[in-house]
Amino acid sequence: MANNFRVMFVGLAEGTEAKTACVNLANKLKTSEDKVTQFFNGKTLFAPNNKDKALKQAKLLASLGIKSKLQATGEPSLQRPDATSLRDDRIFDALDYITSSLIRLEEKLDELEQRLPTNELKNTEDENDEWQQDDLMLDDQLDEPVKTRSNTLLYSLIATAVLLLIVLGIYLAFPDLVSN
């Protein structure tokens, strides 16, 4: 589908003389009568344009008593978007929206920072800096030898678990002994 149209001469309206139409059109367009005469002979007077502009040109010719028609040109319009340019346009629009949103958020944060009293700002800055000044002494803790603990607690837990397993085994093997 062509998006550009050319206005072509068809004929003159009834009661319109070629010479007066030629003079009137040349005066209206501020061009020479030779160009208008060439238009009457089948040459183009206007460059290919979009449909709206071509319709306006045809309306101007009709007001001067000149019949014309719109002819679609085979030239693709420079404004004709294809699928990739539409996708690119949407991507750029989305990026623009994201960028403008980030700018608005940054402005809001700046506005909120300006609303806070200065002493609160210093307190929050001090709190943020305190952790950097603390010595964590991680190296000292890693170098210390592991302390040996007494294994009595471990042995007592193992003995209790074994004793409970023995009682459970007896209960399952001889249910008549436990139920009196």
Domain spans of the chain, in order of start = 5-72, 83-115
What backbone phi and psi angles, to 5 degrees, belong to 7? -90, 120
Is the pTM higher than 0.85?
no
Query: Over its length of 180 residues, how does the chain's per-residue pLDDT go in tens digits?
Result: 457 889 898 888 888 888 998 898 888 888 888 888 888 888 888 888 888 888 998 898 888 889 999 888 865 545 455 678 888 888 888 888 888 888 888 888 888 888 877 666 566 666 665 556 655 555 556 666 667 777 888 899 999 999 999 999 988 888 888 665
Q: Report pLDDT for 123.
A: 63
